[in-house]
């Protein structure tokens, strides 16, 4: 896909995000919304990083960092939040960590509270890329630097820096895996492909999608990859809020409409693990053909178990410890007035200009290397993957 198409997609995503954001104007009690409880099944699967709490808190230097995370529903954000809290405390900062239950207005209220409580820096992983306008305006008026965490905050000039994984590369890793595994350059095919992408309100989602589709589109064009559902455009394959159930019901529909006669699906490109889980459940429920290649991202516990069991082919490991460490470093540099460590000053324009970014490297993961990547590195314990 061309850069032009990517930018069209990005604007579409931005408009969609704006619409959702504007419609969501009911004021909420911030206090009631803070620290929502994790669902019971999540609680049983707390990531290793959260249990360790390795580094002891250094004596507070009186500087406050507000950390706003989207939700506790997805495992990765629990890890991101816990890692950052531990590292920031170890560096001597006070930390105000809040999860916003995937409700944009709750996130606005929580950030406004952080500002009223004297936050010196804000680190924000947005639910909706463009829905935090009021809170970001307030941060700007109070001269509080804002670091966008993992997801870019769109259409606000209050954003100082962005730290993430290389989102386009995540998609490329998935697309290249499909090309290599099906041996698309040599095999005759045709192979049947279906596609499930991410949340149109998340600026990362079109990057994942186009990273993979830029590699796969030529094979679709030559007829070696066939999408029987006909659904290939980002707008058709997106999954609002990355919800597993939404991905599952769309997959259920595709299977019953196009593959009920036992026709094989050879590959299902899924942008991340929460959507892959939905597709895997749909495949288990209603699909009778040979099990397809299924891609993912994040190495969530359920998906890693599925990789070990042969129900998911690969994932992309984004070590949340690396990102947390990088952000803590950037926060320190900002607070000390030092030059801030960035490695990309071209890719991420949030509508007000390019935001200086640090892109961490995503890593290919599958059943062959998960032990080294996830267990030997202490990311998970072996028990968590039983």
Site residues for ligand BGC per CB under 6 A:
74, 76, 150-151, 202, 204, 242, 272, 274, 297-298, 318
In Å, how far are 66, 127, 344 from 77, measured between CA atoms?
15, 11, 24
Give min distance, CB of 56 to ligand BGC, in A: 29
Give min distance, CB of 275 to ligand BGC, in A: 8
Give min distance, CB of 359 to ligand BGC, in A: 12
Give min distance, CB of 373 to ligand BGC, in A: 16
- By beta-carbon proximity to ligand BGC, the closer residue of 166 and 214 is 166
Among candidate residues 118, 70, 48, the one with its CA nearest the CA of residue 382: 48
CB atoms inside a 10 Å sphere around CB 56: 8
- By beta-carbon proximity to ligand BGC, the closer residue of 91 and 152 is 152
- By beta-carbon proximity to ligand BGC, the closer residue of 68 and 120 is 68
Which tokens is 50 given?
Answer: 């959260």
Give min distance, CB of 192 to ligand BGC, in A: 25
- By beta-carbon proximity to ligand BGC, the closer residue of 204 and 326 is 204
- By beta-carbon proximity to ligand BGC, the closer residue of 266 and 302 is 302
How many Å is the Cα radius of gyration of the chain? 21
Decide: helix, strand or coil at residue 154.
Answer: coil
Query: What is the C-alpha separation between 167 and 129, in angstroms, rounded?
Result: 15
Give min distance, CB of 348 to ligand BGC, in A: 13
Give min distance, CB of 296 to ligand BGC, in A: 9
CA dihedral 252, 258, 259, 260 (to 10 degrees): 80
Among candidate residues 37, 110, 14, 33, the one with its CA nearest the CA of residue 68: 110
Give min distance, CB of 73 to ligand BGC, in A: 9
Is residue 153 within 8 Å of 132, Cβ to Cβ?
Answer: yes
Among candidate residues 190, 185, 171, the one with its CA nearest the CA of residue 295: 171
Beta strands in 155-239 (DSSP E): 159-165, 191-196, 225-226
Residue with the closest Cβ to ligand BGC?
272
Give min distance, CB of 215 to ligand BGC, in A: 19
CB atoms inside a 10 Å sphere around CB 27: 8
- By beta-carbon proximity to ligand BGC, the closer residue of 103 and 150 is 150
Which tokens is 242 given?
Answer: 């990355």
- By beta-carbon proximity to ligand BGC, the closer residue of 82 and 184 is 82
Query: What is the C-alpha separation between 97 and 89, in angstroms, rounded?
Result: 11
Beta strands in the chain (DSSP E): 64-69, 94-99, 121-124, 146-149, 159-165, 191-196, 225-226, 267-270, 293-294, 314-317, 357-360, 363-366
Query: What is the C-alpha separation between 340 and 147, in angstroms, rounded?
Result: 11
Question: How far does the chain reach from its first CA to its final CA, in angstroms?
Answer: 40
- By beta-carbon proximity to ligand BGC, the closer residue of 64 and 76 is 76
Unique residue bearing structure tokens 């069991």: 309
Question: Within 13 Å and on the Cβ side, how many CA atoms surround 370?
Answer: 25
Query: What is the C-alpha separation between 218 and 226, in angstroms, rounded?
Result: 11
- By beta-carbon proximity to ligand BGC, the closer residue of 191 and 209 is 209
- By beta-carbon proximity to ligand BGC, the closer residue of 115 and 237 is 237
Give min distance, CB of 14 to ligand BGC, in A: 15
């Amino acid at each position: 896909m061309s850069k032009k198409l990517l930018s069209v997609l990005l604007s579409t995503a931005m408009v969609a995000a704006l619409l959702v954001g504007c419609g969501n104007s009911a004021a909420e009690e911030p206090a009631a919304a803070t620290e929502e409880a994790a669902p019971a099944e999540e609680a049983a699967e707390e990531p290793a990083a959260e249990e360790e709490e390795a580094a002891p808190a250094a004596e507070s230097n009186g500087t406050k960092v507000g950390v706003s995370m989207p939700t506790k529903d997805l495992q990765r954000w629990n890890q991101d939040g816990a890692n950052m809290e531990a590292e920031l405390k170890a560096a001597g900062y006070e930390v105000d960590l809040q999860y916003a239950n995937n409700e944009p207005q709750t996130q606005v209220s929580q950030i406004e509270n952080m500002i009223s409580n004297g936050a010196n820096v804000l680190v924000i992983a947005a639910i909706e890329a463009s829905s935090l306008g009021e809170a970001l305006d307030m941060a700007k008026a109070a001269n509080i630097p804002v670091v966008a965490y993992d997801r870019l905050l769109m259409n606000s000039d209050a954003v100082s820096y962005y730290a993430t994984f290389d989102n386009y590369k995540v998609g490329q890793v998935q697309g290249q895996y499909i090309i290599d595994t099906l041996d698309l350059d040599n095999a005759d095919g045709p192979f049947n492909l279906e596609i499930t992408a991410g949340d149109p309100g998340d600026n990362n989602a079109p990057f994942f999608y186009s990273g993979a589709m830029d590699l796969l589109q030529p094979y679709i064009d030559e007829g070696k990859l066939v999408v029987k559902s006909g659904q290939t455009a980002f707008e058709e394959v997106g999954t609002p809020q990355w919800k597993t159930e939404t991905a599952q019901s769309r997959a259920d529909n595709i299977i019953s409409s196009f593959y009920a006669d036992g026709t094989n699906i050879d590959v299902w490109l899924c942008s991340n693990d929460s959507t892959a889980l939905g597709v895997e459940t749909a495949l288990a429920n209603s699909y009778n053909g040979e099990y397809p290649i299924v891609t993912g991202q994040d190495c969530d516990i359920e998906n890693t178990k599925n990789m070990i069991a042969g129900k998911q082919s690969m994932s992309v490991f984004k070590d949340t410890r690396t990102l947390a460490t990088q952000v803590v470093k950037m926060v320190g540099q900002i607070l000390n007035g030092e030059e801030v460590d960035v490695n990309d000053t071209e890719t991420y324009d949030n509508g007000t200009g390019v935001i200086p970014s640090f892109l961490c490297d995503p890593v290919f993961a599958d059943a062959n290397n998960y032990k080294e990547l996830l267990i030997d590195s202490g990311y998970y314990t072996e028990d968590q993957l039983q």
